[in-house]
Structure formats: C-alpha cells, structure tokens
Structure 1
Amino acid sequence: MTTLPAASADALAISQRLVHAIQAEIRQRGGWMPFSRYMELALYAPGLGYYAAGSRKLGAAGDFTTAPEMSALFGRALARQLAELLPQTANILYEFGAGTGKLAIDILSELQALNALPERYCIVDLSPDLIERQQHNIRQALPHLAERVQWLDQLPEQLDGVIIGNEVLDAMPCELIHWTPEPQQRGVALDGEHFVWADRAIEDPQLLQLAQAIEPRHNDYLSEISPANIGFIHTLAQKLARGAVLLLDYGFPAAEYYHPQRHMGTLIGHYRHHTVDDPFFLPGLMDLTCHVDFSAAAQAGIDAGLDLIGYTTQAQFLINAGITQLLEQLDPADAAAYLPHAAAIQKLLSPSEMGELFKAIGFGKGVSIDWSGFLRGDRCYTL
C-alpha cells in the first residue's frame, strides 16, 4: 500500500472541524445525507471545504495538475478558437473555475497577439483562495490587461459572449446510485464517529427518472449521475442570448460511462498527486471528482435550446486549433524553453495520457456552427 504524504497539524485541524460539521448535519437530517451533499461540503463548505480553504491545490506542490499549468500552448490553442467566436458576440469572455488564473493569462496573451482581445474577461469561481491567487497572478503577468478582467459572484441575467470551462463539470457534486438491480440512492450515515455508506430509496422524481433510464446490465452496479451538470448547462442556456459554450473535461459518452465493466463508478479522490479510493479520507484536504457523462451534458444543452456544435477528444480539438503549429514556432535549439512544452504536449495529446480521456464539447446559440476545433474528428455520433 502506498504511504500518503502527511498533512500538517493546521491542515488536520481544519479537516477535523469539517468532519464535525458534516457529522452535525447528518444528525440534524436524521442520520443520513445524500452523497452529493457530503461532496458539496467536502469541497465547498465556507472556510473548511477543499476549494474554500487555503490549501494549495494546483501544480507540483498541490494535489493535481491541470492542462493550463502544464503548458501555455494549451491556452494559446484555445484562444485561437475563441478568436473566431468572440466577434460574433458582444465580445465578452466568461471563464468558470479559473484555477490559478494561468488559463486566463495564456488566453489573453494569445488574443492580444491575434489582435482579438475581448472587451471583458469575466471569471466566475467559488474558491476565495483561488480568486485571490488569480487576481495576483493576472496583475503580475498582464498588468496592462488586468483592468479588462472582472470577478463575478453571480451570473448576469443575460449572457452575450463566449463561455469556457476547463475541468469544471467534474468538480460539481454528483449523486451516487447503486443498482441492485433496482436503483437506490447512496448516502452517508454515521457508525459512531465514522462515516459509512447507506443506501435508500430514491425520493427525488428527477433523479429517479434519470436512474431508471440507465440500464447498467450488472446486478450490483455503482455509478454517478450529475443533476448538477445538467442544471449548470440549463442555466447557461437560459441566460445565453447569443454566444458559445466550450467545456473541456475528462469523461465518456453514456455507453462507455455505464459499461458493465465500470461497475464501481468513476468517483476518485486526489491528494498530493496520489489517487485515493476512499472519499472519507481527510475531508477538506482532498479533492473529490467524478468523470463527466457527456451524453447527459449534450442532451441537457439540446433540451435547453442550444445547438450541439461538436464533441471530440481533447487531442483532436487541440490539434484542430493549431497547438502543433504553436509548438513549431518555438526554437528547438533553445532546449530550456522548447523541451518542457514538447513534453507537456505529449501528455496533452497522447491517447495513453490526457489526449483520449479528456474531451471537448461545444454548444452555440446564434453563432456559426463551423468551429475550427471540431473541423476534423467530431464524435457527436457516439453520444
């Protein structure tokens, strides 16, 4: 068994406070809470949750590394796609879950080089800690553009622009469903002071309908459903008067997501660059995530009136957007500058790394359906 890095005494104290808060809510609820609520508290409880406390989350010193942290060429390639779309809108860019601000920095830098800067770059994030880092990093890297960047604590009533989200859907609280073979909702109860699993009949009509529509073909099957993903896409669609939505994340179409061989689901924890199967491990200090059901995401967009523009692998999208040409612009003789980007692109594009598991999905309303990112290799037929 891998020995996980020890947490500091201060971090352990925060985790213990969160444990006590979750325990208290379980007792208030009569001894049980749905897993989605546990995940919401573990990630977002004010001052205590993983994304709401001050722990370092991204990069080599954090718990996981995202594509923007690996190479500026990721954001620069996305910017080429965004440059095609922004002029068809009110020229406002919205980013959800902006991490350290690295993606915003790279996108704005490339858009400036393309003479295609947005009027405003609006960031929507739930983490006070990350917002503070975003503000610092953007001011340091792009002082002349910092005034274009705004932080929103709620969405405007109407959106006219381009929306981008990298690894946003996977961080939304999911429901755990246990088919035996009838679907039941898995939740969290207490055995003394310890969190334990407990299944109950599904009471929510929407969740029951979603669960009954899935036929896992396995008598003891555990997986996730994300009403939060569906609700998020519905909200964007309702507010989007004109524009585009581009989401990148890891996941599968429904046929792969609920394949009989994937009978234990996709829920996983990330702690200091280790994967952890136990979601009750150090609440508040570990990221919790589940893969995205892109069939459900696509259907949510279509049901809400959006045009489904395309769906493909991250590798294909980035290649279509010109990431390999951007690499070719670097001087291979300058090994210190070239080799890290070349190694990062290998990870971003390789089928055995991020290239195949990560996907890109695009929606539009009142904009052209011809996006360069989906020009070749579109996989909408798999949804």
Structure 2
Amino acid sequence: MEALIYNTEMNPNAQQTDSLPVPHADALAQSEALIDLIRERIALAGGWLPFDRYMELALYAPGLGYYSGGAMKFGRHAEDGSDFVTAPELSPLFAKTLARPVAQALERTGTRRVMEFGAGTGKLAAGLLNTLGAGIDRYEIVDLSGELRERQKETIGKDTPEFASKVVWLSELPAAFEGVVVGNEVLDAMPVRLVVRKLGAWHERGVVVFDDCFIFDDRPIFMDTQVELIDVAIDKVNDDEPFAEYLTEMHEAALAFTKTVCTMLTRGAAFFIDYGFPRCEFYHAQRVTGTLMCHYRHRSHPDPFVYPGLQDITAHVEFTGIAEAGTETGADLLGFTSQARFLMNAGTTEVLDELDPADVRRFLPTANAVQKLLSEAEMGELFKVIAFSRGLPDTLEAFAAGDRSHTL
C-alpha cells in the first residue's frame, strides 16, 4: 500500500494550482460542507474510497457537488465566474449546424422528439429549437443541476419564446424513446476509476484522509479480480516495459450510460460530442499519467482535491469502449469522426456564408468562433462525434466523408 500526497495545502510548493483565484466566502463554505460529507463517506467505507466514488461526490452530491450546486460553470471568461466554455457558448452556428443532421435523422426515422443530456446554459437547446422549429413535438432535457435547469428555462424563454412551450425537463428516463438524443460534453463528466501499474502489478487508486487532507492511496488489485477490473487493452500497454509505471482511467459509468441510452432508443439516433481518443490512442504507451484534468476559472490543472465542489473534474473519453457499449445493445454505429469533419460535412461553412462579411461586428467574432470549432489546434481534432441509430436506413451526410469508425 502506498499513499501519494496530492494536495496543494499539503504541498505549498505546487506550481500548477498556486495561482488559482480564491473563491468567495460563501463558495468556500459550500466546499467545506462537501469536504465534511466526503470525509464521512470515507470513514463509512473503512477509510478508503475508490476515486470514482470521490469524483461522483465532488461533482454530483445533492446541493453541494459541482454540477448539483450553484457554481457558474459555463461562460467565456473567468471574470464572469465561469470555469470553461463549450461549443454552443462559442457560437450559435454550432447549434445551427448540428440541427442539420438532427433534422435528417428525425425525418428519415419518422420521429419528432429530441432529448438532450446535460443542457448547460440552454444555448444548444435554444439554437436547435430555433432551427428545427415546427419539425419537433417535444424537446426533453435531462439535467441533474437545479441551478442549470433555471438558467436553461431563462435562456430558452429569451432566445426562442415561440417554441419554449415544447420543452420539458425529465426527472427520470422513459423506458423507450423514439427521436434524436444529443449529448454535448456529457461523457467526459462521468466518474472514472483510476488504475496504476507499478512493478508489473495493477493497483486501484483511492482517496484517504491524512493529516486532515485528502490524499491518494493505491491498493493492489488481486489477480482473481484483475480480469474484471482491468481492460485487456490496458494490460497490454507498453509490453516492452511491463514494469514501467502507467496511470490511466476506466470508464464504467460512461459505458453504462451509453448502454442505457442505446437500450432506451427504439427508433432514431443518438449523437455524443466530446474530447477523447479511440482505444489504440487512449492507452498509448506514452500516455503515462492518464487524462484526468480539472477546470477552475478557465484554468486547467491536475489536482482533484482543490476546492471540491467548486471545480470541474473530467477525463477524456475512450471511444472504442463507447462504441462497443452502444452496439452491444443492438444499436447500429452510425459514425465516428472529428468535430471538424462532422461540422464541415453538415454544412457549417454554408451556415457561415449566410452572414454578411460587410457586417464586421457580427461576422468577425462568428468567423473566429467557427475557426476554434474547426481548427486542429483548437477543438476541431481533439473533439469527436460518435453516433448510434436504430431504424435509420442509411448514413447521414455528416458522416459521409472522413468517417473514422475503422479506427475504433
């Protein structure tokens, strides 16, 4: 058993988090309440809590977690109290372009409902509603955050009052759904297990309390349970150096979510947009420290113990596993490609052409935002789009060129 101290309060020389802004008193009080709750859960678990359970509490503990509390989360700048920006916040052209393959899937499957998971501020919902308009009967939103639901209602009421009455918020999933499912940056926010290979043996990384602080603690995974916990693909990482230390994530929650959605989908399509890699890239021999990352006031750092409940904790998506989880339910893999290729195939440049270049104040910011969505150096390559379908007779134009399903 080995403990790893990974907290800036215990390591004042840490360089990656010492420049983070200090939250205001009310936010710190909320974080302290969550810390007390996590300490209780660690004690109840016998003094050691798997990291995925810590991450679940940090993000989703009722009223205290990052997504279930009242933190700002989405926005363009740290000054507005936000932590990161998503594609729908960058430009309305993202929603307007995504609406095209969504409309095609609805038409070709004869369905008229849209369900969005994790709708953020409601910008994507409002943009899709404005474009799809009378083509849908209901727009259903699933979001765990009461604060975000209120922001979504405000945004939708302001940006698309004509269709706001079509929006409903769900407290539980239906047994069956016909229509199109959309999830933008949902999979990356699901709890992950941390596993580390040391001296040729796998360990699971958990959280303990030491000197009143949270620290990492690695526990060996016994051979009789190793097959259940460790993916075969992980175990073959860097076979030339089997004793080299290697830290990575496992994505049981995201896989279970994908299976649930694809089982629920009886006719239609499901689109998931997120950052990540196919398995061969995710478990690359050189990716020795994993992909876990935290976001606070538009700054990224690797310490998940800083301001619990006030910062986002994410991990990149392993898309091969997502593809397998969806197709195991009997759903078809509709396509897998980069965000840039998906948006270009769907006609984002045509949507941009609808703007007047002479209107500099409107055109230039929009063009700059689209460049970020498409550029390989920005979101265009890191972000991927994976989609599943049932009852869709053929592929969509958005996957007609540059489909990478063969890499999964």
Per the normalisation by structure 2, the TM-score is: 0.90
Q: Against the structure 1 CA distance between its residues 239 and 47, is the aligned structure 2 distance closer, same or farther, given a 3 Å change threshold? A: same
**Other structure's SS at 1:332 match:** coil
205-214 or 176-185, larger mean C-alpha shift:
205-214
Look up the match of 2:298. Answer: 273
Match of 2:195 among 146, 171, 177: 177
Q: Against the structure 1 CA distance between its residues 103 and 33, is the aligned structure 2 distance closer, same or farther, given a 3 Å change threshold? A: same
Q: Identity over aligned residues, as a percent?
A: 49
The superposition leaves residues 157-192 of structure 1 with CA deviations (integer Å, 9 ceiling, x where unpaired) of 111111010000000001111122222211101112
Match of 2:104 among 68, 84, 97: 84
**Other structure's SS at 2:401 match:** coil
The CA deviation at 1:306 is: 1.0
Match of 1:306 among 314, 331, 351: 331
- The residue type equivalent to 2:381 in the other structure is E
Look up the match of 1:125. Answer: 143
- Name the CA distance, whole Å, in 1 between partners of 2:61 and 2:247: 26
- The residue type equivalent to 2:132 in the other structure is L
Alignment pair present for 1:242 and 2:258: no
Look up the match of 1:288. Answer: 313
Look up the match of 2:156. Answer: 138
**Other structure's SS at 2:333 match:** strand
**Other structure's SS at 1:260 match:** coil
- Name the CA distance, whole Å, in 1 between partners of 2:55 and 2:309: 10
Match of 1:108 among 115, 129, 133: 129
8 Å contact from structure 2 (residues 130, 163) kept in 1 = no
The CA deviation at 1:210 is: 4.1
Look up the match of 1:191. Answer: 210
The CA deviation at 1:144 is: 1.7
- The residue type equivalent to 1:273 in the other structure is H
8 Å contact from structure 1 (residues 177, 211) kept in 2 = no
The CA deviation at 1:119 is: 0.7
8 Å contact from structure 2 (residues 293, 314) kept in 1 = yes
How many pairs are equivalent? 380
The CA deviation at 1:153 is: 1.0
Look up the match of 2:387. Answer: 362
Look up the match of 2:83. Answer: 63
Q: Against the structure 1 CA distance between its residues 92 and 207, is the aligned structure 2 distance closer, same or farther, given a 3 Å change threshold? A: farther
The CA deviation at 1:206 is: 8.9
Q: Against the structure 1 CA distance between its residues 32 and 173, is the aligned structure 2 distance closer, same or farther, given a 3 Å change threshold? A: same
- The residue type equivalent to 2:68 in the other structure is A
8 Å contact from structure 2 (residues 262, 388) kept in 1 = no
The CA deviation at 1:368 is: 2.5
- The residue type equivalent to 1:15 in the other structure is S
Match of 2:285 among 253, 260, 270: 260
Look up the match of 1:323. Answer: 348
Look up the match of 2:174. Answer: 156
- Name the CA distance, whole Å, in 2 between partners of 1:143 and 1:352: 37
Q: Against the structure 1 CA distance between its residues 205 and 109, is the aligned structure 2 distance closer, same or farther, given a 3 Å change threshold? A: farther
Q: Against the structure 1 CA distance between its residues 205 and 85, is the aligned structure 2 distance closer, same or farther, given a 3 Å change threshold? A: farther
- The residue type equivalent to 1:341 in the other structure is T
- The residue type equivalent to 2:67 in the other structure is Y
Match of 1:37 among 53, 57, 79: 53
8 Å contact from structure 1 (residues 183, 212) kept in 2 = no
8 Å contact from structure 2 (residues 201, 220) kept in 1 = no
**Other structure's SS at 1:98 match:** coil
The CA deviation at 1:205 is: 5.3
- Name the CA distance, whole Å, in 1 between partners of 2:38 and 2:229: 28
Alignment pair present for 1:332 and 2:357: yes
Look up the match of 1:211. Answer: 231
Q: Against the structure 1 CA distance between its residues 322 and 25, is the aligned structure 2 distance closer, same or farther, given a 3 Å change threshold? A: same
The CA deviation at 1:312 is: 0.4
8 Å contact from structure 1 (residues 101, 134) kept in 2 = yes
Per the normalisation by structure 1, the TM-score is: 0.96
8 Å contact from structure 1 (residues 31, 189) kept in 2 = yes
Q: Which structure 1 segments of 5+ residues have no match?
A: none
293-302 or 362-371, larger mean C-alpha shift:
362-371
- Name the CA distance, whole Å, in 2 between partners of 1:172 and 1:299: 17
- Name the CA distance, whole Å, in 2 between partners of 1:206 and 1:239: 31
Q: Against the structure 1 CA distance between its residues 139 and 267, is the aligned structure 2 distance closer, same or farther, given a 3 Å change threshold? A: same
Q: Which structure 2 segments of 5+ residues have no match?
A: 1-14
The CA deviation at 1:325 is: 0.7
Q: Against the structure 1 CA distance between its residues 209 and 23, is the aligned structure 2 distance closer, same or farther, given a 3 Å change threshold? A: closer
Q: Against the structure 1 CA distance between its residues 54 and 103, is the aligned structure 2 distance closer, same or farther, given a 3 Å change threshold? A: same
- Name the CA distance, whole Å, in 2 between partners of 1:274 and 1:185: 28
353-362 or 190-199, larger mean C-alpha shift:
190-199
